[in-house]
């Protein structure tokens, strides 16, 4: 895995397809549970986030900041340039873009179009990587594999990020069951109808949240739409506006949240232990930043 992917912690985690229940089949959902759409951070928060080690933007920022500090001192000791830990603190409060249900923030769509925000240290990391080449990459892989003694055990492992942990299994099961409900497809169909009224062609596969017209939008080497493109902004605005007008994202998020809440209740004792461990782990990361940042 390219270290930069781990450093940014920017991608949505993929959950292992293992059940959180001993017996198959959905539980009765909790209809009052809600997903929270935060326009300030650009993230969608769910009930299970309280128990997942890395779930919110704030969690990711703390762990990424701590990791960059440790990588920075390791890389400089090896004689390499590494600046991702030197981004001014005033610029580290960034905005993410959780688009699991397509674009839903109208103001963000008007500003960024189909483009997406990156952590402030992401481009610096890429620039240092490009300038340093293969030797730089080998060095950072070694630094990542051999953390400093005071940082060992702080940063989440790949298993904790995307493995078959209990919170990940709960999120996976809840998502699967939500997608089986008639409200799921009804919400998507209402969104598609709105997009068609805007002259767009929605892609209707189960994993798609875009329109066919977006294929022609210029993109960078990572496949991210370039900013300041009028067509990109028009498409993004339509997608976000239709999402808000039809309530699609909120409906789908609430469906997932309702099943998460039911599974949380069934696994509360085990999850409480994980929540305590999460609090302690984040404290270690904060203490590391305070001491070394």
For 49-68, write each residue's pLDDT tens digit.
999 999 888 898 899 999 99
Q: Quickly state the pLDDT bin for 89 (edges 50, 70, 90).
A: low
| pLDDT over threshold 90, residue 77 | yes
Stretch 79-106: mean pLDDT, rounded?
A: 82
Residue pLDDT, tens place only, 113-153: 999 877 667 889 999 999 999 999 999 999 999 999 999 99
Q: What percent of the chain has pLDDT over 70?
A: 88
Q: Where do the domains of the chain lie?
A: 36-292
pTM of the model: 0.86
pLDDT of residue 18: 54
| pLDDT over threshold 90, residue 223 | no
pLDDT higher at 48 or 6? 48
pLDDT of residue 247: 98
| pLDDT over threshold 70, residue 20 | no
- The dihedral built from the CA positions of residue 134, 137, 143 and 146, taken in this order, carries a sign that is negative
HEC sequence for the chain:
CCHHHHHHCCCCCCCCCCCCCCCCCCCCCCCCCCCEEECCCCEEECHHHHCCCCCCHHHHHHHHHHHHHHHHHHHHHCCCCCCHHHCCHHHCCCCCCCCECECCCHHHHHHHCCCCCCCCCHHHHHHHHHHHHHHHHHHHHHHHHCCCCCCCCCCCCHHHHHCCCHHHHHHHHHHHHHHCCHHHHHHHHHHHHHHHHCCCCECCCCCCCCEHHHHHCCECCCCCECCCCHHHHHHHHHHHHHHHHHCHHHHHHHHHHHHHHHHHHHCHHHHHHHHHHHHHHHHHHHHHHHHHC
pLDDT of residue 251: 99
Q: What's the whole-number average pLDDT of the chain?
A: 89
């Amino acid at each position: 895995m390219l270290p930069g992917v781990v450093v940014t912690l920017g991608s949505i985690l993929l959950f292992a397809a293992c059940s959180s229940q001993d017996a198959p089949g959905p539980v009765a959902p909790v209809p009052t549970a809600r997903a929270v759409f935060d326009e300030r951070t650009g993230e969608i928060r769910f009930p299970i986030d309280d128990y997942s080690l890395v779930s919110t933007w704030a969690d990711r920022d703390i762990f990424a900041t701590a990791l960059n500090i440790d990588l920075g001192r390791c890389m400089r000791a090896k004689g390499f340039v590494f600046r991702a830990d030197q981004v001014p603190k005033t610029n580290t409060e960034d905005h993410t873009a959780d688009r699991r249900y397509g674009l839903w923030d109208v103001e963000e769509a008007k500003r960024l179009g189909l483009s997406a925000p990156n952590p402030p240290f992401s481009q610096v990391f890429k620039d240092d990587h490009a300038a340093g080449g293969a030797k730089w990459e080998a060095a950072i892989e070694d630094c990542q594999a051999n953390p400093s003694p005071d940082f060992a055990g702080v940063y989440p492992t790949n298993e904790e990020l995307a493995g078959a942990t209990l919170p990940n299994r709960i999120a996976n099961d809840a998502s699967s069951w939500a997608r089986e409900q008639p409200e799921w497809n009804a919400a998507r169909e209402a969104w598609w109808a709105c997009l068609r009224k805007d002259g767009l062609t929605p892609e209707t596969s189960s994993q798609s949240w875009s329109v066919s017209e977006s294929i022609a939008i210029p993109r960078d080497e990572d496949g991210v739409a370039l900013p300041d493109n009028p067509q990109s902004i028009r498409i993004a605005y339509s997608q976000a506006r239709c999402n808000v007008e039809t309530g699609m994202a909120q409906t789908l998020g609430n469906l997932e949240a309702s099943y998460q809440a039911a599974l949380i209740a069934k696994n509360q004792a085990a999850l409480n232990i994980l929540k305590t461990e999460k609090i302690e782990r984040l404290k270690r990361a904060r203490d590391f930043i305070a001491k070394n940042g």
